[in-house]
A and B are shown apart, each in its own frame.
Chain A
Amino acid sequence: GIQVEQSPPDLILQEGANSTLRCNFSDSVNNLQWFHQNPWGQLINLFYIPSGTKQNGRLSATTVATERYSLLYISSSQTTDSGVYFCAVSRGAQKLVFGQGTRLTINP
């Protein structure tokens, strides 16, 4: 099956810093999603981005499907950005395969 690797596993930053999270996947996909799991455990949809680039406020994402990776950019980090960021992919039958996540801690 598809393998999904996220890096780095942990990231600690000061408020205001920028960050880049990476997701590598082992096979072609037709769905790639980025989620933020907040400290209360909710999974928040950030981007549906099987290819191309999208931006939403301070967050943006780019997926290069031919090279099998996606990047999530967070600019001007805030403490509310803390949590775990998951990348998940699927191919064909829509069953999402999740990476292990990147735990982001933003210190004030």
Chain B
Amino acid sequence: DAEITQSPRHKITETGRQVTLACHQTWNHNNMFWYRQDLGHGLRLIHYSYGVQDTNKGEVSDGYSVSRSNTEDLPLTLESAASSQTSVYFCASSDSGRASYNEQFFGPGTRLTVL
């Protein structure tokens, strides 16, 4: 069965370190998204991609970067982790093959703690 996976599921790091969170989908979806979930803010969009070599900034992109070298993967990098980036991170994907059908499917999430 097609799925979307994230790794690691839990991560503890220190302020200032570079961290990369992995997202891998086997749906063969063109569109991939990264969200963060914080108490009081719901889920907010960090970055998104509509295909290989395409990346775009979302609502809360400062301090994060992504790259899309293939269809299956969209890694999220925190260049210099800050305590404000302690959060739960969700990756999602959707198929742009049919313009009228945009359902997004979510991975299990990564809980990141920055000390």
Contact = CB atoms under 8 A, between A and B. Distances in A.
A42 interface: yes
Interface in B19-47: 31, 33, 35, 42-45
Nearest to A30: B102
Contacts of B58: 95
A43 interface: yes
A42 B108 contact: yes
Size band of the interface chain B makes with A: 20 to 34
Interface stretch (B64-72, B73-81, B88-96): B88-96
Contacts of A90: 102
A28 interface: no
B100 interface: yes
- Residue from the set B31, B42, B45, B88 with the largest chain A CB neighbour count within 10 Å: B42
Contacts of A100: 42
B42 A99 contact: yes
Interface of A: 30-31, 33, 35, 41-43, 45, 48, 86, 88, 90, 94-101
Given A31-B103, A43-B90, A86-B43, 14 more contacts: A30-B100, A33-B103, A35-B106, A41-B88, A42-B109, A43-B106, A45-B103, A48-B101, A48-B102, A88-B104, A94-B94, A95-B48, A96-B33, A96-B35
